Amino acid sequence: MEFMSDMLGGGDSGRPSLFEIVAQHKMGELLEPALQHVTSVYAHRYPRYLVRLLNWHEEAYAALMLLVERHYLRNYGASFTEHFYGMKRVRTRRIGGNDGMTPGDMWRSLVFLVGLPLIKSRLDQRYERASGGEAARLLGGAFARADNEPRAEADAGAEGLAGVRQRLHAVWYAAERAFRRYYPHANCMYHLATALYYVAYMFDRTDYNSPWLHLLGLQVRRLSAADYRAMDARGPATSGLAAPANGTALRATRNMVARLLAGGLDALKALLPLSIFFYRFLEWWYRSDFHKRVQQAPVPEPPKPPKPHPDGVEVPEDQALCPLCRNPRTNPAMAPSGYVFCYPCIYRHLDDTGTCPVTLIRAQPDSIRKLYADA
């Protein structure tokens, strides 16, 4: 996404368009469910090792993104998705003529990039459990979660620890009830603030595309040619684990791990589009006719009919004649041996003898199969 043109035209060339801002936000929102889907697939195959990871997926994902986002903020001055779309974060108020982020800006950015989504996800899950789910909100009644409201005051006979527990339960109930009542309004204000900043940013009423960046005093700008030249001159990204070499094997091992970690995190820029392409290719492959043709087993040849028994009736040369009555077949029916007769003829014969008249193979009347010709 390097050197993207100004999609609004005639404006600041370093100012990202709203489409780029929304695209990088949506990309960040899609990473977690994609990783959760992959984890759930492998958890079904290896439940012993991955079920606990799946149960704590939000926390594990937050820890992973803390590592990734810190790497990109430290080395590129942008979040992972912002850097993927060729953007960076700059300070609104310069320090010594430099608009780059300070370490404090980086850690505050991590709070809103990693901590806030984790808290929001947990609050959403808590509200789902407390409210009874979508059915309770739409239909209520029997779908709503029952409220076991405790008594306002402890029983007269409740003393000591029992009374304390009862009062704590009453406080917990009041807090949960207030949460169910006011959290939808807070959630609405959260999304409304984001939408209002998008609209204001689109009409150049603000330089901040989100309220969180406004609180941090940071703006998102496009990477310029000078930024790319500076990154090339700086060389590969580094990790915070690296330390000056002192000639010891422990320090050398630490620096090697730091280089591998930094290289792996840096490779995400290339691995992500490749994985998306590979996923789309697999999706197309499994839905196409090529996959069905490859997976389709060849149709086996039909088994050869059993040979007529020397003591059986002779099969007429005219295939349209019944071997029993020697007349043209009427209401044709097939015996288990594969030979075709008139239905009345083969039914009486099997009922009397229990064997095929041609091959003498044992057969019963209920094994007869009627044949129907196309009209």
Whether the per-residue pLDDT at 141 is higher than 70: the answer is no
The answer to whether the pTM exceeds 0.85 is no
pLDDT of residue 195: 93
By the 10 Å C-beta count (0-12 exposed, 13-18 middle, 19+ buried), 224 is classed as: middle
Among the residue ranges 107-121, 177-191, 239-253, 259-273, the one predicted with the least confidence is: 239-253
Please report the DSSP string for 140-201 in residue order: -GGGSPPP-PPPSS--TT--THHHHHHHHHHHHHHHHHHHHHHHHHHHHHHHHHHHHHHHHH
- What does pLDDT average to over the chain? 81
Higher-confidence position of 232 and 116: 116
- Chain segment 63-106, per-residue pLDDT in tens: 999 988 998 998 888 999 999 889 999 998 887 778 888 889 99
